[in-house]
């Protein structure tokens, strides 16, 4: 088990992998080149020996021809020359006449016998042959011996031993092996240091990340070794920056939540304390304070409800209950529900439906999103103002527009109003029962439907929210 773990660890090690690759890349050519050198040196030897043999044999053959040796063999000088040539090449010379009879054999074994070999026949045909016998390790050369009239009178077959090649080859093999071992050792040492050189930047990155993560928020890392490590460092730093922003916004959120939850409790406490502090409080005052306390409790519970809605809408946990929704009917029901609120301030509330719209949506959530927009349009309006809601669609999206004649939102606030707990005018928001979470919830719901919401406003003139949502809902990767 332990051995397996160690083996697994080393198999995955970049260091070991690099060493093995460098070793393979370094030693394989060494071995191949060594073998090629041994082979080519052997071939060269055979070739040069053959040339030399041919050169000397041709010289002897021309002497044989000149002195017509085959007709008159009692020429001791020539006989000695033939014997010497055979000895020199540690081989054998055979002279065959036109009847294929062996007239001379330096081994004196075949004289008087016949030789009708392929080589002899082709020599009588006028061409000489040369070959190397791998098994017997000898060279064989057959040359035609012509008479004075130019006709082929006989054939000289000469063989030359190449046995010395074996020992030469063994010697070369030994040298090759030594060269591969020494080269291999050098390559091994070089690959160890080279791989160390390659792995060093990676180790440096790991160390830098390690020491950076000791810090709770993480500190940026700086690496200048090579372009790749700089890239890793930059990517890591970008990720850290995102994590820090996330951490900050989480902290901000927690502090906002605590503050929001504390405000009604503080009011309740002040109201309760002032009742306790007074003696003989009239019943009317009790009633008034108690109804204030009840309103604060309502507020607290509203904040908690909105918070819970927010948490549930958190993208990672959100589950949409998608179905085909008649958006026209949904809009009508929202406006019907909010009409009493509008009437309180004599705000005119109109719905303009340009066409029937049927879309894929989570009706409950979308209803909440639009309700928030229309409710805001009424809340942040002026007395006797108007709210115009319109519904339209093209082949891909449907559009909901909520326009009001209210107090408007300064341009610099447009980006912030969708943040959690953000209010342009805190006092007014609180007075109207706002928690600062409505638009954050709305935006969340619209994003879950893969839609978008935009705001346009002019201070003192009014505000228009435009929502665009795809008619067909397509689940994206990672969504539940």
Residue with Cβ nearer ligand ADP (218 or 434) = 434
Residue with Cβ nearer ligand ADP (198 or 422) = 422
Residue with Cβ nearer ligand ADP (66 or 415) = 415
In the complex, least distance from residue 372 CB atom to ligand ADP, rounded to whole angstroms: 6
| DSSP 3-state of 371 | helix
Residue with Cβ nearer ligand ADP (8 or 410) = 410
Residue with Cβ nearer ligand ADP (220 or 461) = 461
Question: Which residue matches tokens 């994206």?
Answer: 476
How far apart (Å, rounded) are the C-alpha atoms in residues 96 and 102?
A: 4
137 Rama sector, left if φ>0, alpha if ψ -120 to 50, beta otherwise: left
Q: Closest Cα partner for 469 from 361, 377, 343? A: 361
Contact residues for ligand ADP, defined by CB under 6 A:
372, 376-377, 380, 404, 406-409, 417, 422-425, 429, 434-440, 463
How far apart (Å, rounded) are the C-alpha atoms in residues 321 and 37?
A: 77
Whole-number Cα distances in Å, 327 to 309, 323, 397? 22, 11, 12
In the complex, least distance from residue 457 CB atom to ligand ADP, rounded to whole angstroms: 7
Q: Closest Cα partner for 330 from 229, 417, 400? A: 400
How would DSSP label each residue in 243-299?
HHHHHHHHHHHHHHHHHHHHHHHHHHHHHHHHHHHSSS--HHHHHHHHHHHHHHHHH
Residue with Cβ nearer ligand ADP (367 or 435) = 435
Count how many Cα atoms sit within 13 Å of the Cα of residue 290 in the half-sphere of its side chain: 7
Q: Two tokens at 469? A: 């949502």
Residue with Cβ nearer ligand ADP (232 or 378) = 378
Residue with Cβ nearer ligand ADP (399 or 422) = 422
Residue 439 buriedness (CB in 10 A; 0-12 / 13-18 / 19+)? buried
In the complex, least distance from residue 393 CB atom to ligand ADP, rounded to whole angstroms: 23
Q: Closest Cα partner for 28 from 16, 17, 36? A: 36
> What are the phi and psi torsion angles at 130 (to 5°)?
-145, 135
Residue with Cβ nearer ligand ADP (34 or 406) = 406
Residue with Cβ nearer ligand ADP (144 or 434) = 434
221, 222, 224, 227: CA torsion to nearest 10? 50
Residue with Cβ nearer ligand ADP (140 or 300) = 300
Residue with Cβ nearer ligand ADP (81 or 419) = 419
Q: Closest Cα partner for 422 from 455, 385, 471? A: 455
How would DSSP label each residue in 383-446?
TT-EEEEEEEE-SSEEEEEEEE-S----GGGTTTTTSTT--SSHHHHHHTT--S-HHHHHHHHH
Residue pair 399/362 in contact (Cβ under 8 Å)? The answer is no
How far apart (Å, rounded) are the C-alpha atoms in residues 93 and 43?
A: 24
How far apart (Å, rounded) are the C-alpha atoms in residues 328 and 336?
A: 12
How far apart (Å, rounded) are the C-alpha atoms in residues 125 and 289?
A: 138
> What are the phi and psi torsion angles at 412 (to 5°)?
-65, -15
């Amino acid at each position: 088990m332990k051995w397996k773990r160690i083996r697994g660890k080393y198999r995955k090690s970049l260091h070991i992998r690099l060493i093995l690759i460098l070793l393979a890349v370094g030693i394989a050519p060494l071995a191949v080149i060594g073998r090629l050198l041994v082979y080519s040196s052997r071939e060269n030897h055979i070739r040069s020996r053959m040339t030399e043999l041919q050169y000397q044999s041709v010289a002897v053959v021309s002497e044989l021809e000149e002195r017509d040796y085959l007709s008159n063999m009692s020429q001791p000088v020539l006989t000695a020359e033939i014997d010497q040539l055979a000895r020199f090449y540690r081989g054998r010379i055979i002279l065959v006449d036109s009847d294929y009879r062996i007239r001379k054999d330096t081994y004196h074994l075949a004289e008087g016998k016949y030789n009708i070999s392929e080589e002899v026949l082709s020599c009588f045909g006028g061409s000489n042959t040369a070959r190397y016998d791998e098994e017997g390790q000898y060279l064989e050369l057959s040359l035609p011996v012509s008479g004075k009239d130019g006709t082929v009178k006989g054939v000289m077959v000469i063989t030359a031993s190449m046995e010395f090649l074996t020992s030469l080859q063994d010697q070369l093999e030994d040298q090759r092996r030594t060269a591969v071992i020494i080269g291999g050792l050098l390559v091994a040492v070089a690959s160890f240091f080279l791989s160390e050189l390659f792995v060093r930047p990676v180790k440096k990155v790991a160390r830098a990340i390690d020491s950076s993560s000791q810090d709770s928020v993480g500190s940026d890392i700086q690496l200048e070794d090579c372009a790749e490590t700089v890239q890793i460092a930059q990517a890591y730093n970008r990720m850290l920056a995102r994590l820090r922003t996330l951490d900050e916004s989480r902290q901000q959120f927690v502090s906002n939540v605590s503050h929001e939850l504390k405000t009604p409790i503080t009011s309740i406490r002040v109201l309760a304390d002032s009742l306790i502090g007074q003696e003989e409080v009239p019943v009317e005052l009790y009633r008034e304070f108690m109804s204030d306390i009840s309103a604060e409790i309502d507020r607290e519970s509203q904040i908690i409800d909105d918070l819970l809605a927010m948490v549930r809408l958190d993208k990672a946990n959100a589950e949409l209950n998608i179905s085909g929704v008649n958006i026209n009917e949904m809009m009508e029901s929202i406006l019907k529900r909010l009409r009493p609120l509008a009437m309180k301030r004599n705000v005119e509330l109109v719905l303009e439906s340009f066409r029937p719209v049927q879309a894929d949506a989570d009706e409950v959530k979308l209803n909440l999103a639009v309700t928030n927009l229309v409710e805001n349009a009424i809340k942040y309006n002026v007395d006797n103002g108007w709210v115009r809601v319109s519904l339209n669609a093209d082949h891909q999206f449907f559009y909901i527009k909520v326009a009001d004649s209210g107090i408007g939102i300064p341009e610099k606030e447009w980006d912030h109003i969708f943040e959690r707990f953000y209010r342009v005018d805190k006092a007014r928001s609180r007075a109207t029962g706002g928690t600062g979470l409505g638009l954050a919830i709305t935006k969340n719901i619209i994003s879950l439907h893969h839609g978008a919401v935009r705001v346009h406003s002019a201070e003192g003139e009014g505000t228009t929210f435009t929502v665009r949502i795809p008619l067909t809902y397509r689940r994206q990767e990672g969504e539940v």
